[in-house]
Structure 1
Amino acid sequence: MEATASLDRRARLRAATTAEIKQVALTLMAAGGPDAITLRAIAREMGMTPNAIYGYFATRDDLATALISDVSTDLADVLDATWARTTRKSPAERIRAWASAFRSWALTNPEGFRLVFGDPIPGYIAPEGGPAPDATRRICLGLTGLAAVAWPHAESDSDRATFQWSDFDPGLRDEVRAAFPELPPAALALAMRIRARLHGLVSLEVYGHLQGVTPAPDKLFDADLADLLNTLGLTGAVRP
C-alpha cells in the first residue's frame, strides 16, 4: 500500500512538473517569440538543471509537439462542444456560435493561437502525421460542418466554382467525403473560405494589430461575421 501511494505521489509530481514546463514554454514564447522556447531557458526559469528537464522532454521538438497537441485538442474540444450545443439552432446561429467560440478561445489563449496558427518554431520537425492529427481532423471537420449547414443556401453561388476532389489533400479529402458524403468538392472550398474569413480579424486582434485602430474589435468582428452570413445566403441572421 505504501509503495503504491509513493508511486501515485511521484506520478502526480511528474504531471505537475510537466504542466509547469509547458506553461513556462508558452510564457517564454509570449515574451520572446517561438525562438525563446528552449529546454535550457525553461530549466533556468524553473530552477532546474538541463539534465533534469531532459527527463521530461528529451528534445525541444518533443516539447513543441506536446504543446501543439495540447493546444489543438483544447480548441477542438471547445468547438465540438459549442457545435453540439447548437444542434437545434438555425444555420446562422450555429455558425455564429462556432465563430464566437473560436474568437473567445483565441483571445483567452493567445500564445496557443500563435503556436498553432501563427509563428512557426524555427527548426521544428513534426512527427509523421503531424503533432496533433486527431485535433486537426476534428477542427477541419468542424469547418466543413459550417459549410454543410450553409451549403443549401450558398449552393447557387458556390456551385459555379470548378473545384474537383483532386484539388485537395488526399487525406483531408477522404476524411471529408466519409463524414459528409453528400457534399461536392466546392463545399470543401467553401469551408476553407469560411476559415479565411474567421482567421483574418482574429489574427489581427491576437497579434495586437487592431490596437490604436478601434476600441471595439468585438463590433468589427460581429460586422464581418454578419457580412459572411449574408454572403452565405443566411440573410435572416440575427445579431447577438
Structure 2
Amino acid sequence: MAGTRSTGRRERLRAETTAEIKSTALELMGTGGPDAITLRAIAREMGMTANAIYSYFATRDDLVTALIADVYTALADAVDAAWSASAQDAPAQRIQAWAHAFRGWALANPEGFRLIYGDPVPGYRAPDGGAAPDAARRVCVGVTALAEAAWAGYEQPHGDAEFDWEDFDPGLLDKVRPAFPALPPAGVALAMRIWGHLHGLIALEIYGHLRTQTLSPDKLFHSELTQLVKTLGLEA
C-alpha cells in the first residue's frame, strides 16, 4: 500500500511539473517571442537544473510538439462544444456560436493562438503527420461545416463555379471530403473565405493591431459576423 501511494505521488508530481514546464514555455513566448522557448531558459525560470528538465522533455522540439498538441486540442474542444450546443436548424446561430467560441478561446489563450497560427518556432521540426493531426482535422472540418450550413441558401457569386478539386491541397481534401461528400469544390472555397473573415480579424486583435483603431473590438467582431451571415443569405 505504501509503495502504491509513493508511486501515485511521484506520478502526480511529475504531471504537475510537466504542466508547469508547458505553462512557463508559453509565458516565455508571450514576453520574448518563439525564440524564447528553450529548455535551459525554462529550467532557469523554474529553478531547475538543465539535466532535470531533460528528464521531462528530451528536446526542445518534443516540448513544442506537446504544446501544440495541447493548444490545438483545447481549441478543437472549444469550437466543437459550441457547434454541438447550437441548434441544427439554425445555421446562422451555429456559425456565430462557432466564431464566438474561436475568438473567446483565442483571447483567453493568446500565446497558444500565436503558437499554432502565428509565429513559427525557429528550427522546429514537427513529427511526421504534424504535431496535432486529429485536432487540426477537427478544426478544419469545423470550418467546412460552417460553409455546409450555409451552402443550401448561398447565392454563388460569379466565379465560384470555376473551382475544381485540383485547386486545393490534397491534405486539406483528405480532411474535408469524407466528412462532406456532397459539398462541391466551390463549397470548400467558401469555407476558406469564411475562415479568412474570422481568422483575420481575430489575428489583428491578438497581435494588438486593433488597439489604436477601436475601443470596441467586441462590437467590431459582432458587426463582421452579422455581415458575414447576411452575405451567406442566412437569417441572423
TM category (shorter chain) comes to over 0.9
**Structure 1 residues 182 and 232 mapped into 2: Cα distance closer, same or farther (>3 Å)?**
same
Contact (CA 8 Å) 2:201, 2:221: kept in 1 or not? yes
CA distance in 2, matches of 1:193, 1:219: 21
Q: Which ranges of structure 2 fall in alignment gaps of 5 or more residues? A: none
Partner residue in 1 for 2:141:
141
Shift of 1:89: 4.8
Question: Which AA in structure 2 matches 1:55?
Answer: S
Name the amino acid aligned to 1:145. A
| 8 Å CA contact retained: 1:159, 1:186 | no
Q: Which moved more, 1:76-85 or 1:170-179?
A: 170-179
Determine what percentage of the aligned residue pairs are the same residue. Answer: 65
SS at match of 1:128: coil
1:191-224 Cα distance to aligned partner (Å, 9 max, x none): 1111110011111111111112111011111111
**CA distance in 1: counterparts of 2:127 and 2:12, whole angstroms:** 27
What is the distance in 2 between the residues matched to 1:75 and 1:219? Answer: 23
Corresponding position: 1:198 with 2:205:
no
CA contact (8 A) 2:140 2:175 kept: no
Contact kept in structure 2, 1:61 and 1:126, CA below 8 Å: yes
The residue type equivalent to 1:132 in the other structure is A
Cα distance between partner residues in 2 of 1:212 and 1:59: 40
TM-score, normalising length: structure 1: 0.95
The structural deviation recorded for 1:159 is 7.2
Question: 1:44 matched to which residue of 2?
Answer: 44
Size of the alignment, in residue pairs?
Answer: 236
Given that 1:158 and 1:187 are in contact with CA atoms closer than 8 Å, whether structure 2 keeps it comes out as: no
Q: Which residue of structure 2 lines up, in the alignment, with residue 55 of structure 1?
A: 55
- Structure 1 unaligned spans of 5+: none
Instruction: Give the Cα separation in 2 of the matches to 1:124 and 1:156.
Output: 41
Q: 1:47 to 1:4 in 2, by over 3 A?
A: same
Q: Which amino acid aligns with 2:213?
A: V
**Does the 8 A contact of 1:158 with 1:186 survive in 2?**
no
1-structure distance, mates of 2:40, 2:229? 48
Report the residue type matching 2:63 in the other structure: L
Where does residue 75 of structure 1 map in the other structure? Answer: 75
Alpha-carbon shift at residue 174 of structure 1 (Å): 2.5
Could you tell me how far 1:169 is from its partner in structure 2? Answer: 2.0
Greater than 6 Å deviation, 4+ residue runs: none
CA distance in 2, matches of 1:91, 1:108: 26
In the alignment, which residue of structure 2 is the partner of 1:165? 165
Q: 1:39 touches 1:60 (CA, 8 Å); kept in 2? A: yes
1:233, CA displacement in angstroms?
Answer: 1.3
Q: Which amino acid aligns with 2:42?
A: I
